[in-house]
Amino acid sequence: MHAEPETPASSGPAAPPADPHAARTAGPREAVWRRERRGLLHVYGPFYRSGFLAAFVCGRLDDGADLALAIGSHASHYPYAHPRSRWDELLLVAGEERLFISGRRISPLGIALGPGRRAIIAYHGRAVRVAAGGAQGAARAVAVDVDLNLDLDAVVHHPRIQGVGVGRALLGLQWQPALVRGSGSLTLDGRRRRIDRAAGLMERGSLTHLRGKLFQFGYEYLAVCRPDAEPATYVRFTAAPLHRGLAGLPLRLLLATGIASEEVTLTAARPQHGDALGLAPRPGEPVEGLVGHRMELGPGTLVSELVAIGDAQRRYGLRQTVQRRDTPGANEIFR
């Protein structure tokens, strides 16, 4: 999200643009990205500015158990200009443990990309422990103390444009992914466990768009990573008008050109177009919902969930949708 550089530092090595979506004139990258400062509304006349900083990683704990973590801080007016359109979240699977915390702002949540190749994820607070059993497990949830720390090395790729224009004349999203890997620790209710390996995606987005109902958009997002093998992450993103009928017609015509969609596999060397490593769910492959939440964002509803994919080659995914609230299925978490 939009944040102020706190220390001057080089942005570290970056991979070359992988395809025409990659920004070639985006200018220098910021040295340090953190959560937004309080009190900045980022609304200027007919335009608004917003953004996010998020991560999704998979790995192993010291006892060999799987780890999957999604964490993010989304600024005011993301993805559209509305006072209720913002959220923070943490979704965690650690062996048999399933936990989450979500809200408009979660003060103990920490996430930073930079300076240089360093990235940090931290959370020190309470979270909801959900029993297995999908949506029914939420009825048996209890709060527990969580102390999470991850120190990561980041290979930051060049920004990729989702919209029209470049640089300061951009109308849309400038999305910048990084492939991260590292280790850390996780303490639940006083029991400390070492995170031997964590790898996946950290991403930051800077959004400039027009206010008003005609330009409100939702999206479908899927990220998939694997707890073993070389770090790699598959990302698929598609934007769509939030409203139906005439209210969504101008944006529907604009998005029909494919200017706000992405399908890419991130590796340490460079992004590769499409599902280059076969990480996405295949037809007929089982997909199991593990833990998730939903939140009203004014006219739309966010659904965010961690899922397990496959049996023999188990992978983990983060699935998010923002849809109009009266869309059939918009409020379902475990679909």
The full DSSP string for 288-320 is EEEEEEEEEETTEEEEEEEEEE-STT-EEEEEE
Give the pLDDT confidence score for residue 329 in this predicted structure: 60
Q: Does residue 90 register a pLDDT over 60?
A: yes
Give the pLDDT confidence score for residue 282 in this predicted structure: 93
Written as six digits, the tokens of 77 are: 């007016």
Please count the helices (runs of H) and the strands (runs of E) in the chain.
Answer: 1, 18
In a domain, 334, yes or no: no
Give the residue carrying structure tokens 């295949």: 282
In a domain, 31, yes or no: no
The proportion of the chain whose per-residue pLDDT surpasses 70, expressed as a percent, equals 82
DSSP lists the bridge partners of residue 112 as: 120
Q: Does residue 140 register a pLDDT over 70?
A: no
In a domain, 258, yes or no: yes
In a domain, 7, yes or no: no
In a domain, 208, yes or no: yes
In a domain, 233, yes or no: yes
The conformation of residue 108, written as its DSSP 8-state character, comes to T
User: 212: Cβ–Cβ under 8 A, 6 or more apart, which residues?
Assistant: 46, 81
pLDDT band at 75 (very low <50, low <70, confident <90, very high): very high
Q: Does residue 324 register a pLDDT over 70?
A: yes
CA distance 293 to 303: 6
Q: Does residue 289 register a pLDDT over 90?
A: yes
Give the pLDDT confidence score for residue 279 in this predicted structure: 96
- The structure's pTM equals 0.84
Domain count for the chain, please give it. 1
CA distance 11 to 194: 29
In a domain, 26, yes or no: no
Q: Does residue 26 register a pLDDT over 60?
A: no
Domain that holds residue 225: 43-324
Written as six digits, the tokens of 152 are: 């990561």
First to last CA, the chain: 29
In a domain, 18, yes or no: no
Q: Does residue 211 register a pLDDT over 60?
A: yes
User: 106: Cβ–Cβ under 8 A, 6 or more apart, which residues?
Assistant: 73, 88, 89, 90, 123, 125
| Nearest-5° Cα angle at 253, 250 to 258 | 130
Residues 310-319: b if buried by 16+ CB within 10 A, e if exposed: beeeebbbbb
